[in-house]
Amino acid sequence: MGGCPDPEAVADEQRRADRLRRTVDVTCVLLRQGRVGRAEGEALVAFAREQALSLFPDGGDVFDLVLAPRFRRILDECCPRDGGRVLPFRSPIDSRR
């Protein structure tokens, strides 16, 4: 039955979580500087999503529920709209329709 979790697996997951946290933090800082256009900002978000999925392959839904709204809010506040969307953002409510 239940045993102690494998220390190596726990350490690996912690390393991946730390790397994801740094990726998200750097992306947020770059977006908040306001020196990128909307399309460039959305490309940064797309890259952050790719990195998240490479670290946690089954984490797409978590990214969409937790991080995408955060990035969308920062983009709306700090990056002017300059046409087109590189990364579509859907709210969980929109995806139920």
Query: Tens digit of pLDDT per residue, the chain (97 long)?
Result: 467 889 999 999 999 999 999 999 999 999 999 889 999 999 999 999 999 999 999 999 999 999 999 999 999 999 877 554 445 555 555 555 4
- Give a yes or no: residue 49 inside a domain: yes
Please state, in angstroms and rounded to a whole number, the distance separating the CA atoms of residues 81 and 75.
9
> What total number of domains does the chain contain?
1
- Give a yes or no: residue 86 inside a domain: no
Q: Which residue segment(s) compose the domain that 73 sits in?
A: 10-80
* The model's pTM: 0.76
- Give a yes or no: residue 85 inside a domain: no
- Give a yes or no: residue 2 inside a domain: no
Residue 42, classified by CB atoms within 10 Å of its CB into exposed (0-12), middle (13-18) or buried (19+), is buried
Please state, in angstroms and rounded to a whole number, the distance separating the CA atoms of residues 20 and 53.
10
- Give a yes or no: residue 45 inside a domain: yes
